[in-house]
Amino acid sequence: MVGRAIDNRGSPSNLIARDFLGALRSLPADPGAVTNRVALQSPNAQIGLATGGSQQLMFDAPALAGASYHVLGSVTGTTPGAVLGGFMLPLNVDSWLVATLQSPNQGVLQNTLGTIDAAGLATATLQLPPLPAALHGLVLQHCLVALQGASIAFVSNPVSLSLQ
């Protein structure tokens, strides 16, 4: 089940390509024999630069109902990532990570800080305006960090957004 104490606490240096059942593993590294299902998903993975658009980030982890959350991002990738409260955050530290940390729920970041509902669900949105063509091919990565009190309880898988 997604959202348990051991989820996503593995080291990327120990990540093997497939789990016990043959499923491909991805970041964050899960130390279990069988990979957890992804907790964060999006129906789209790209936005047109000329038109702008939105990406919904949908989180589903019933074990974390009532926890607070914060969506963070990176424009420089997912590896090596960063250690965050006993978890590996699958985001590199860069200016976008700092912006998403310091300015949640502002500008293009909608509902990126909040509380996971009673069913274990949360939805955040990245709402981008039309952007310069020079950003073509830039890939943003986002993940959700769940907090119980002041402690990090879970770090989700990253979700990509390609600017086209």
Whether the pLDDT of residue 2 is over 80: the answer is no
Q: What is the CA radius of gyration of the chain?
A: 15
Say if 93 falls within a structural domain.
yes
Whether the pLDDT of residue 25 is over 80: the answer is no
Say if 18 falls within a structural domain.
no
Whether the pLDDT of residue 21 is over 80: the answer is no
Say if 129 falls within a structural domain.
yes
Say if 43 falls within a structural domain.
yes
CATH (domain of 97): 2.60.40.10
The number of distinct structural domains making up the chain is 1
What region does 37 belong to: left with phi over 0, alpha with psi -120 to 50, or beta?
A: beta
Say if 3 falls within a structural domain.
no
Positive or negative, the CA dihedral 121, 113, 54, 164 is: negative
Greater confidence (114 vs 79) lies with 114
pLDDT band per the 50, 70, 90 thresholds, residue 86: confident
Task: Give the rounded percent of residues in the chain with a pLDDT score beyond 90.
Answer: 72
What was the pLDDT predicted at 18? 76
Structure tokens at 124: 């955040």
CA pair distance 95, 8, nearest whole angstrom: 24
Say if 44 falls within a structural domain.
yes
* pLDDT tens, position by position, 90-142: 999 999 999 999 999 999 999 999 999 999 999 999 999 999 999 999 999 99
Whether the pLDDT of residue 1 is over 60: the answer is no
Say if 28 falls within a structural domain.
no
Give residue 58's domain range.
Answer: 38-163
Tell me the mean pLDDT in the region 30-48: 82
Mean pLDDT computed over every residue of the chain = 89
Say if 15 falls within a structural domain.
no
